[in-house]
Chain A
Amino acid sequence: MNAELRTRVLAAAAAEPSPTRAAVSRRNMLIAVVAAASGIGAFMIFAEFMSESQLLRLGGEVVPQQSLERSVWLVAATVGGALAVAAMALWLALGRGRSMLGRSRRWLLYGGVLIPVSLLAWKVGCSIVFGDAMVPWPERPGERCLALTLLVAAGPLLSFLAIRRRAPVQPALNGAVIGFAAGACAWVAVDAWCPVAYVPHLLLGHVLPLFVLAGAGALLGQMLLSLRPR
C-alpha cells in the first residue's frame, strides 16, 4: 500500500474538521426544534389571518343557514391517527435502519405511498363512523387547506433534509419520502383546523399537497442529499 497516499489522505482529513456523533446529535436536536417552531409558527400565522386565531375549528357554515359541527371525539380520533402516521413517516424518512445506506428502495417506495393512503383512509374512515362530516361544502373546494399544508410543511421539509444530510443511494427517493413525512406532520395541523371531510375537498386540499411536497422533496433530495465531490 502506498505510504505517501496514506499520509496524504490522513493529512487531508486532519486539515478538515468534521463533527463527531455527539456534535451531530446536538445539531439535529436544534434543527428539530427549528422545524417544529417553523411549522407551528406558520400554522398560527395562517390561522390568525384566515380564522381569527382559531387553531381548532369544530365546524362552520356549509351553505347559508346550514351549519355543521364536528364532534370533539372525531377531531381527537383523526388528529390522533394523523399523529401516529406522522410519527411513523418520520421514522421511515429520517431513520436509516442499521445501514449507512438507509432504507431499501422497497421500504421507501411502499412506505412513501402508504403515508398519504393511510392518512386519507383514516380521515375518511373516522368521518364515515361519525356521519355528518362527509357532506359537501361548496364554498370550500380545498385551496386554503392546500396553502396551509404547504406553508406549514415548508420549514420541516428543509429541516428534515438538513437532518438527513446525505443519501449515497437513491437521494431523490429519500427526498420524496422526507417530503411525504413533512406533509404528514402538516396534515395534523390541517386536520385540527379544517372541519371538512368531503372527499373531493380532502383530495385537493389535503392529499395533493403531500404529493407536491414529495415532488419538491425529490428535487431537493437529488440536489442536496446526493454526494458531490468537493
Chain B
Amino acid sequence: MVPDLDLGGADAAMERYATGDEAAFGELYDSIAPRLLGFLHKATRDAFAAEELMQETLLHIHRARGSFISGAPVLPWAYAIARRLMTDRARRRRVEQRLFAEAPADDEWMAHAPAAATETAEDVLHARRLARCLQQRMDALPELQRTAYRLLQQEGLSLKKAAEVLGTSVTAVKLRAHRAYVALRAAVREAGGAP
C-alpha cells in the first residue's frame, strides 16, 4: 500500500497553479508524482514507460490548469488521465510488445513475494512461482477489472473515487474488483498457495 500522502496539499497546490502561481507545479509534482509513478509502474511493469506516461500525465494537467475546478480533488483526475494514456499506449501495442519481448528478472518477482516465504530455497522457489502465476493472471485480466483492483487494493482509492476514475458506477467497480479478486485467488489456489 502506498503511504498516505498529503493530498489536501496537492489540491491546494493545483488551485494555486490554476490561478497562475508557477511555483506551485513543483509542489503538485512532489505531492502526486510518487503515487502516480507507482500506479503506472505496477500497471506497465516498465520503468521507462511509467516515467514517460507520468510526464505526459503531468503535462496534460499543466495544459488544462486553467479549467481546473476550484475544490475538485486532483488525484482522481490524474489517475484518469494516466489510465487513458496508458490504454492508448497499450492499444498501440508498444507496451505489450515490450512486455512480451523482455521477461522480467527474478529479482523483480521477489519484490512482490511474501516476506514469510523466504526462509528456505524451496520456499523462495514457491514464492517466485506464485508471484509469477499471480502476475500472469493479473495480466490476463480484462483491463477494467485489473485497473479497478489496482486502484482499490494497491492505490487505496475509495470506491467512489475509483468509480470516477473509471467513469463508471460504484457497483460496477465493486463487481470488477471482486471478479479480479476471485481470479487471483483461483490463481493462488492453482499454484499451490493458500487460497
Residues from chain B with a CB closer than 8 A to the CB of A13 are 25, 58-59, 62
Given A21-B68, A227-B84, verify A6-B164 contact (CB < 8 Å). no
Q: Could you tell me the distance between the alpha carbons of A24 and B68 in the complex, rounded to whole angstroms?
A: 10
Asked if A118 is an interface residue, CB under 8 A from chain B, the answer is: no
The answer to whether A106 and B169 have CB atoms under 8 Å apart is yes
Interface of A is mostly: loop
Size range of the chain B interface in the assembly: 35 or more
Q: Could you tell me the distance between the alpha carbons of A168 and B77 in the complex, rounded to whole angstroms?
A: 8
How many A residues have CB within 8 A of the partner chain? Answer: 37
Asked if A149 is an interface residue, CB under 8 A from chain B, the answer is: no
The answer to whether A100 and B84 have CB atoms under 8 Å apart is no
Q: Could you tell me the distance between the alpha carbons of A140 and B30 in the complex, rounded to whole angstroms?
A: 64
The answer to whether A16 and B59 have CB atoms under 8 Å apart is yes
User: A87 → chain B, closest Cβ, in Å?
Assistant: 20
Asked if B181 is an interface residue, CB under 8 A from chain A, the answer is: no
Those of B9-40 within 8 Å (CB) of chain A: 18-20, 22, 25-26, 29-30, 33-34, 37
User: A199 → chain B, closest Cβ, in Å?
Assistant: 35
The answer to whether B77 and A100 have CB atoms under 8 Å apart is yes
Asked if A23 is an interface residue, CB under 8 A from chain B, the answer is: yes
- B33 in complex: contacting residue of A6, A105, A230, CB < 8 Å: A6
The answer to whether A229 and B164 have CB atoms under 8 Å apart is no
Asked if B112 is an interface residue, CB under 8 A from chain A, the answer is: no
The answer to whether B71 and A98 have CB atoms under 8 Å apart is yes
Kindly supply a per-residue 1/0 record for chain A positions 1-42, scoring 1 wherever the CB is within 8 Å of any chain B CB and 0 otherwise.
110011011101110101111111100000000000000000
> Can you list 14 pairs linking A and B with CB atoms under 8 Å apart?
A6-B26, A6-B29, A12-B59, A16-B62, A21-B68, A100-B74, A100-B80, A101-B165, A104-B164, A105-B167, A169-B80, A227-B84, A227-B88, A228-B88
- List the 8 closest pairs (A to B, CB-CB), nearest first: A169-B167, A24-B66, A100-B77, A19-B66, A20-B20, A168-B80, A13-B62, A21-B18
